[in-house]
Amino acid sequence: MRHDINWKSIDLNLLVAFSALFESQSVSAAAAQLHVSQSAMSHSLARLRTLLDDPLFERHGHTMLPTERAISLASTVERILDQVTGELLSPKMFLPEEYQGVCRIGLTDYAEFIFAPVLFDVISRQAPESQICFVNVNRSNYVRLTEEQKLDVVVGSFPDLDARFQSEHLYDEEHVCLFDESLFGKVKALKLEQYLSIDHALVSPGGELVTGIDKHLELMGESRQVRVAAGNFLTIRQLLRRRKLLAIVPKRMAQIEGFDDQLVMTKPPIDVNDFAISLIWPSRQHTRDKNIWLRELVKEEIQ
């Protein structure tokens, strides 16, 4: 241990305050998260600034943005807190068969539709006394919901991952054309002319009527007619039944069994970018036994 440092000025609670401030970027939100007063959080920030000789968090509008120094320290602080909670304060070894808590898993619409049933089954087998909570997330809210809902892991497509998370690639998803065979006849492969002559349906959680496909077609000097958009794949699937509509959807969604319809899938006549499905989790939970178990379980079932 170094003896040239004033250890009396160092308080583990300051690291907890730093972590909360870095996550929330708000003094009031950090105070609420740690169940302390706003003045107490402001005092902790002042002590941190003195201790580390840096502003750490600077106000920009209603947000306290971290400085470069704070950003460089964030991973170290999280690692220290994780070691304290996971190694020093861990009450006992995690045993799934004895676990009576809640497994909280964030899933995008796509992941929830495909994987919620299989994840429920495998968690129920391995941790029969546990409860399971699936939380619907998307690219814009997964950071906030992970904190608010105390999510253990999240599954979905997150191309620009927040620095406070770690990830593991699960697989790449491709797209297919989906339509009612009873109306279009047996079609092995759609030609571009056919594809453009059919009205299109979009799975569009945000309500957009234009996607990257339309931009790609525009570069080709072509366009398609988007007739309808809906935020849920089940709605689009119902719309495709007995209607002259076509939708480009992720292949695994199209392959889900149990639907009483005559929908078939073919390869799109244009290039449609694949997208990566990843398992992500908060860095601070990386070494925790429960989180490691859940990550391995998800990977085994999905990959």
Burial degree of 272 (CB within 10 A; 0-12, 13-18, 19+): middle
Task: Tally DSSP H helices, then E strands, for the chain.
Answer: 12, 12
16 by DSSP, 3-state: which? helix
The first and second tokens of residue 301, run together, are 């079932």
- Residue 230's closest CA among 218, 252, 245? 245
Q: Token pair for residue 278?
A: 């990843």
Contacts of 161 (CB under 8 A, 6+ apart): 167, 278, 280
Asked if residues 169 and 153 have their Cβ atoms less than 8 Å apart, the reply is no
What pLDDT, on a 0 to 100 scale, did the predictor assign at position 91? Answer: 60
What is d(CA 176, CA 195) in angstroms, rounded to the nearest whole number?
12
Angle ∠(45,47,53) on CA atoms, nearest 5: 95
Residue 157 is encoded by which pair of tokens?
């497509």
Note the pTM of the prediction, 2 decimals: 0.69
* Model pLDDT, residue 87: 65
Q: Compute, in degrees rounded to 10, the torsion defined by CA atoms 37, 43, 48, 51.
A: -150
pLDDT of residue 295: 97
Q: Backbone phi, then psi, for 213, in 5-degree steps? A: -65, -45
Per the CB < 8 A criterion, the answer to whether 229 and 209 are in contact is: yes
**Cβ-based neighbour number of residue 208 at 10 Å:** 11
User: Positive or negative CA dihedral for 23, 29, 30, 33?
Assistant: negative
Q: What is the pLDDT of residue 79?
A: 82
Domains of the chain: 7-88 (1.10.10.10), 96-172+276-302 (3.40.190.10), 175-270 (3.40.190.10)
Q: What is the pLDDT along the chain (303 residues), one digit of tens a residue?
A: 455 556 565 688 899 999 999 999 999 999 999 999 999 999 999 999 988 999 999 999 889 999 999 999 998 888 888 777 766 666 667 899 999 999 999 999 999 999 999 999 999 999 999 999 999 999 999 999 998 888 999 999 999 999 999 999 999 999 999 999 888 878 788 899 999 999 999 998 888 899 999 999 999 999 999 999 998 888 999 999 999 999 999 999 998 876 767 899 999 999 999 999 999 999 988 988 999 999 999 999 998
